[in-house]
């Protein structure tokens, strides 16, 4: 019998399961709390009777991640982890300290099938989806390892969260549960490359999260050359889904724009971008593109990046340049995992 991924159960599912074991209702609340707060072993659940713990051990497993590599920035204390999953797959997470608290950047898939040309995560395609419990475990492990409470989450690590839609939605429901990690949805950002039908589906949940859209180009010609997802859902369709999303959720949308020299950093690009975003309550996050070993693109120099930002601001678009954290341990999305898998001699 395949074991149950019990940490991915919400309270209703857990209640149904515990009732099937003949357990009283209050045990569900106790178990849910232990699981969600990151206990990794049923024997540590000291308020559960031993015979129940034995049944749970037999029928269920608690999804966990183990630290295989850890890099700590000497500049700002940013911590990057390579975690190993139960099947030997590896993912990345980053913990950053801001004035308002700690933010963790989590992965949602092992690899990614979207294949953006500038990103290391997609170089080998998708290996598998992460479960809600594996997304939660990245947070609880980072909390335990650093002795901190994480207050903000960004779903911006490896993978496309909207390509793992059901698990990402369940994760959002679990992580914000009062009896769990209780991280408010307003403190969570979900980043997508623009899977339009799923943006529409997400709108139906009306979560007060921040939707972060990786736009990176103002038109189809440039965007399709960088992101193959754009061949399926072009800029017009994407921005129209964003407008609808905003109408329903009333949340400001964040547009990510990784600047690549001579690709998307011209004045004409800034002007076209400003024009297309007009009327959307949004913020543009400019990111100096992070060079990937397997690619030849370059980031523009800082003057050019600031010039691009100011041109957007002059045209009424709210824009900032993303602060670089952990510059001394830098490795963009997916690079750490590839390196760790190569060293292990397996995987990719």
By CB under 6 A, what part of segment 282-341 binds ligand SF4? 333
State which residue, 203 or 223, has the beta carbon closest to ligand SAH: 223
E runs forming strands in 54-163: 60-61, 66-72, 79-84, 90-98, 101-105, 109-111, 126-129, 150-155
Q: Does 112 bind ligand SF4 (CB under 6 A)?
A: yes
Q: What is the DSSP letter of 222?
A: H
State which residue, 180 or 334, has the beta carbon closest to ligand SAH: 334
Q: Enumerate binding residues for ligand SAH (CB under 6 A).
A: 118-119, 156, 160, 191-193, 214, 256, 258, 287, 289-290, 292, 332-333
Applying CB under 6 A, which of residues 93, 193, 230, 254 lies at the interface with ligand SF4? 193
Residues involved in catalysis: 92, 333
State which residue, 21 or 327, has the beta carbon closest to ligand SAH: 327
- DSSP line for 241-288: HHHHHHHHH-PPEEEEEEE-TTTS-SHHHHHHHHHHHTTS-EEEEEEE
Residue 92 contact partner, candidates ligand SF4, ligand SAH, none, CB within 5 to 8 A by sort of partner: none
Q: Which residues does 257 contact at the CB level (< 8 Å), separation at least 6?
A: 215, 216, 264, 273, 284, 285, 286, 287
State which residue, 62 or 258, has the beta carbon closest to ligand SF4: 258
Q: Which two tokens stand for residue 335?
A: 């690079």
By CB under 6 A, what part of segment 136-175 binds ligand SF4? 159-160
Smallest separation (angstroms) from ligand SF4 to the CB of 187:
21
- DSSP line for 23-56: --HHHHHHHHHHHHTT---GGG-TTS-HHHHHHH
Instruction: Report the interface residues with ligand SF4, using CB under 6 A.
Output: 112, 114-116, 119, 121-122, 159-160, 193, 214, 333
């Amino acid at each position: 019998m395949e074991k149950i991924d019990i940490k991915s159960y919400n309270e209703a599912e857990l209640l149904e399961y515990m009732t099937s074991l003949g357990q009283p209702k209050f045990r569900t609340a106790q178990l849910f709390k232990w699981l969600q707060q990151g206990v990794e072993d049923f024997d540590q659940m000291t308020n559960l009777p031993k015979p129940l713990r034995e049944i749970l051990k037999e029928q269920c497993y608690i999804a966990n991640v183990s630290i295989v590599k850890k890099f700590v920035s000497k500049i700002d204390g940013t911590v990057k982890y390579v975690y190993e999953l139960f099947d030997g797959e590896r993912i990345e997470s980053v913990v950053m300290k801001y004035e308002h608290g700690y933010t963790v950047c989590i992965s949602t898939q092992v690899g990614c099938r979207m294949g953006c040309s500038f990103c290391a995560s997609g170089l080998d395609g998708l290996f598998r989806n992460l479960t809600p419990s594996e997304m939660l475990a990245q947070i609880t492990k980072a909390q335990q390892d650093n002795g901190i409470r994480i207050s903000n989450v960004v779903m911006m690590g490896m993978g496309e969260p909207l390509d793992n839609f059901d698990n990402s939605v369940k994760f959002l429901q679990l992580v914000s549960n009062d009896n769990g990690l209780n991280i408010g949805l307003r403190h969570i950002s979900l980043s997508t490359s623009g899977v339009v039908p799923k943006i529409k589906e997400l709108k139906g949940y009306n979560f007060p999260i921040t939707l972060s859209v990786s736009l990176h180009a103002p038109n189809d010609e440039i965007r399709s050359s960088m992101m193959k997802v754009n061949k399926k859902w072009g800029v017009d369709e994407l921005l129209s889904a964003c407008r609808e999303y905003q109408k329903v959720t009333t949340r400001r949308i964040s547009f990510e724009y990784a600047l690549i020299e001579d690709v998307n950093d011209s004045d004409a690009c800034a002007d076209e971008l400003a024009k297309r975003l007009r009327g959307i309550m949004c913020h543009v996050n400019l990111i100096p593109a992070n060079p990937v070993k397997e690619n030849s693109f370059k980031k523009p120099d800082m003057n050019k990046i600031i010039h691009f930002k100011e041109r957007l601001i002059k045209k009424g678009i709210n824009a900032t340049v993303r602060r670089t954290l952990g510059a001394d341990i830098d490795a963009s999305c997916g690079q750490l995992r590839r390196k760790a898998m190569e060293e292990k001699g397996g995987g990719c």
